[in-house]
Amino acid sequence: MTELKPINPDHLHANVPGIDQSDRRVPTNLRQSGPTSVELLISTRVRKSPFWHLSIEAGAWRATVYNRMYHPRGYVRPEEGGAMAEYDALVNRVTLWNVAVERQIRVKGPDAEAFVNFVITRDATKIAPMRGKYCILCNAAGGIVNDPVLLRLAEDEFWFSISDSDLMLWLQGINVAEAWDVEIAEIDVAPLQVQGPLSEDLMADLVGDEVRELPYYGMMEARIGGVSVVISQTGFSGEKGYEVYVRDATLNAEAVWYAIRGTGARYGLRVIAPAHHRRIAAGILSWGQDMDSETSPFEVNLAYQVPRKKTAEYVGKAALEAQRDRIDACDYPFRQKLVGLRLGGHPITDYAPDFWLVQDSAGDRVGYVTSPWWSPELETNIALAYVPWSLSEVGTRLQVELPSSYALVAGQPVPAEVCEIPFRPSVNRSARERARESGRDWSD
């Protein structure tokens, strides 16, 4: 690792914090710039999804860029309730999300299973056709390069429904010598998510009662609006929900979108942005926000993604096993660990523009918040945050520096406490939750 040289304090801007990130080659940007009044430029350099114009028609008023594609991140205006009104629709009724940014990378061919087993940390041989798994892919140093939902369509065909990094080029690079007989390419398939407690009834109305029998991460072929789709019982919300993968989406986007919205009207369906407030409560991570290619799964509660029993070789295996051996010996190889926080302050009801800083009980800056929001059910602010391993035990008291709009007293940090993740149960419990209930080691 390149040694970080000391910085001349005379050259520091006032908002540069002194948090130890010396184990990273590129430290996370912790400058506290606050909200910035800039306009998102819409141009041909960034791709529009097949659903982009439909989202605008549905009222999308702001967007970000995800996987080099424009991504709607707000439909309800702040004066009409904003993101928390969208949250209400998710947890009480049913919602439709444009998530075409989860670009579909297909690995197909005689060696598909062997190749996929080499690039993911979990055991691909245990994924049956028409089933899926949440998985991670790591680089040689054990850093997480992507955390997709992996769908197995057939014995010789897998789809990576990717998070925000260009996985296709990485996979093609792994196979540049053509050691595996596979084709690796993006395909014209774009997903939508139907999420919320009424999602099962809506989906059954659309495709029949067979959908009610789908297990978590189960898949089925169906038709919506006369269009061939793949449906999985998955989602980014912690609520009951489904993903609808539209085939030939360039041609078929409107047919599926309007069919779902038309049938959904009788269930009170609302088009919303991906509900980060609910995924935080569920402990679901966001790549690029809570982790990146310099983050180990052991730093972010994803140890179960590195099974001790997988004997086959895979990218990053040696580094990850060495990291686990050090952790088992209480010799932590990382400066920080991701934890859950309950924190004070006024309700945080929108996306944070900065990684807000965490202090220890003495007032020293020691970490940073990655994903904060208000939980109506818990009646408190909740967050995911990086803190030193020595301060990661449940019950540890900390403080968070909030901007003046959320702080109780401007310039004064609010109290925080490390707590269990998830903050509230999901409809489909995570591997960590199931292991905790059974009393077994969920990292195995």
Residue the block writes with tokens 């991670």: 136
Contact between 440 and 399 (Cβ < 8 Å): no
Contact between 277 and 375 (Cβ < 8 Å): yes
| Cα distance between residue 172 and residue 182, in whole Å | 10
SS3 content of the chain, % helix, strand, coil (to 5): 25, 25, 50
Contact between 102 and 286 (Cβ < 8 Å): no
| Cα distance between residue 334 and residue 34, in whole Å | 28
Q: How far, CA to CA in Å, does 351 sit from each of 56, 275, 321?
A: 20, 11, 36
Contacts 24+ apart (CB under 8 A), 393-398: 393/418, 394/418, 394/419, 394/420, 395/419, 397/361, 398/341, 398/358, 398/359, 398/360, 398/361, 398/366, 398/367
Burial of 333 (0-12, 13-18, 19+ CB in 10 A): middle
The identity of residue 66, as a single letter, is: Y
Contact between 100 and 68 (Cβ < 8 Å): no
Contact between 33 and 354 (Cβ < 8 Å): yes
Contact between 308 and 444 (Cβ < 8 Å): yes
> Do the annotations mark residue 243 as ligand-binding?
yes
| Cα distance between residue 256 and residue 192, in whole Å | 9
Contact between 356 and 403 (Cβ < 8 Å): yes
Enumerate the H helices of 102-235 as residue ranges.
112-119, 167-174, 199-207
Query: Which token pair is 378?
Result: 């818990």
Please give the annotated binding residues for substrate, written as ranges: 243
Please give the annotated binding residues, written as ranges: 243
